[in-house]
Amino acid sequence: MSSILGTPGGSGPASDPGSGSGSGLRTAILFGAVLALIGANVYLFYQVSDIRSELTQTREALLTEISKIHETSAVSSQTSRRSVDSLKKDVDEARKQASQLAGQAKVDATKHADELAARLEKEQQDQSQRVAAVTTEVSAVKDSANAANTKIGEVSTDVGNVRTEVASTKSELEKTIADLKSTRGDLGVQSGLIATNGKELAALKALGERNYTEFKITKQKGNAPQKVGDISVRLKSTDVKKNKFTIDVIADDKTVEKKDKTVNEPVQFLVSKATQPYELVVNDVKKDLISGYLSAPKVQQKRN
């Protein structure tokens, strides 16, 4: 019992200082919270009031703007209606004009078609004339072609004949060349082929290996020399019975006597501008006359 009773000198229950202090703190906190709530409610009230005021202003502005839009829309509708009416009138007018123009266009088109038809007819006539002219020209060309073909046939025949003649001449030339003889000249140098007549000389010229100059030399009064190619020859005497002759050969300002030479004997002599000897061949001897040819090398150059 003593645990719940007061001190021996007390008359009632004992008081707790700590418990009184805690109760006051809680009361102060509750009071502060109430004040905070009241302040928050006041702040919220003013905020709500401001929002309501702004919403009211915004609603009035929107109503004003909507009214303006209605007015503008009405004006636009009236303007559009007027534009549509105007466009309708323009369309009707355009249709009317188009109907009038269609008649004129038909007239113009008909006129243009007539002009084209006339031009076409004229062009066809011109074309027919050109075709007729071309046909005439083609006929003439065909006639010319036929004549040309006939001429070509004749020419072909002539060419064939010429070829035959050429082949025959070539064969005869080859036979003549084969019959030619080569002998040693009076200088002891082996001569080329020797021609004894005009036919054989023509064969030598055809070979083209040397230059050939034909001559006829007569005995001149005063023993004047005669030009043969690039040399000179003086006929001194002839012996018809023995077919012999004596001449002077003049070359490089030198005179060399060739005495008692016979027909078709190569009379050889050297000149300064050739490395091979010149050859003078007499084919015929008559009284105070000799005839034959001079054979000279094609290559002319200085001798060493």
Reported as a single tens digit per residue, the pLDDT across 62-111 is 888 888 887 777 777 777 677 778 877 877 887 787 677 667 777 887 88
* Measured distance CA(63)–CA(135) in Å, rounded: 97
* Measured distance CA(215)–CA(232) in Å, rounded: 11
Taking 50 as the threshold, does the pLDDT of residue 9 lie above it?
no
Say which range, 154-168, 227-241, 253-267, has the weakest mean pLDDT. 154-168
What local confidence, expressed as pLDDT, does residue 91 receive? 73
Q: Which residues of 136-166 are buried (b: 16+ CB within 10 A; e: fewer)?
A: eeeeeeeeeeeeeeeeeeeeeeeeeeeeeee
Q: In what order do the strands lie in the sheet with 267-269?
A: 210-218, 289-297, 278-286, 267-269
**Under 8 Å between Cβ of 266 and 281:** yes
What local confidence, expressed as pLDDT, does residue 14 receive? 43
The pLDDT confidence band at residue 212, using thresholds 50, 70 and 90, is very high
* Measured distance CA(28)–CA(236) in Å, rounded: 183
- Strand pairing partners for 214? 293
Q: Hey, CA dihedral for 147, 153, 157, 163, is it positive or negative?
A: positive
Task: Return the closest-CA partner of residue 210 out of 290, 291, 268.
Answer: 268
What local confidence, expressed as pLDDT, does residue 96 receive? 80
The CA R_g of the chain, rounded to the nearest whole Å, is 74
Question: DSSP label at 252?
Answer: T
* Measured distance CA(71)–CA(93) in Å, rounded: 33
What local confidence, expressed as pLDDT, does residue 258 receive? 96
**Location of structure tokens 């719940």:** 4
Mean pLDDT of the chain: 80
pTM for the predicted model, two decimal places? 0.43
Q: What is the CA 24 to chain-centroid distance, rounded?
A: 118
What local confidence, expressed as pLDDT, does residue 218 receive? 95
Taking 70 as the threshold, does the pLDDT of residue 293 lie above it?
yes
The pLDDT confidence band at residue 1, using thresholds 50, 70 and 90, is very low
Pairing verdict, β 289-297 and 210-218: antiparallel
What local confidence, expressed as pLDDT, does residue 247 receive? 96
What local confidence, expressed as pLDDT, does residue 125 receive? 85
Q: What is the pLDDT of residues 14-35, one digit of tens each?
A: 445 445 566 787 788 888 888 8
Residue type, 7: T
Say which range, 122-126, 147-151, 155-159, 162-166, has the weakest mean pLDDT. 162-166
* Measured distance CA(106)–CA(114) in Å, rounded: 12
Q: What is the CA 227 to chain-centroid distance, rounded?
A: 62
Residue 90 to residues 78, 83, 84, 87, Cα–Cα distance (Å): 18, 10, 10, 5
What local confidence, expressed as pLDDT, does residue 2 receive? 41
**Under 8 Å between Cβ of 289 and 271:** no
Span 132-140, mean pLDDT? Answer: 83
Taking 50 as the threshold, does the pLDDT of residue 3 lie above it?
no
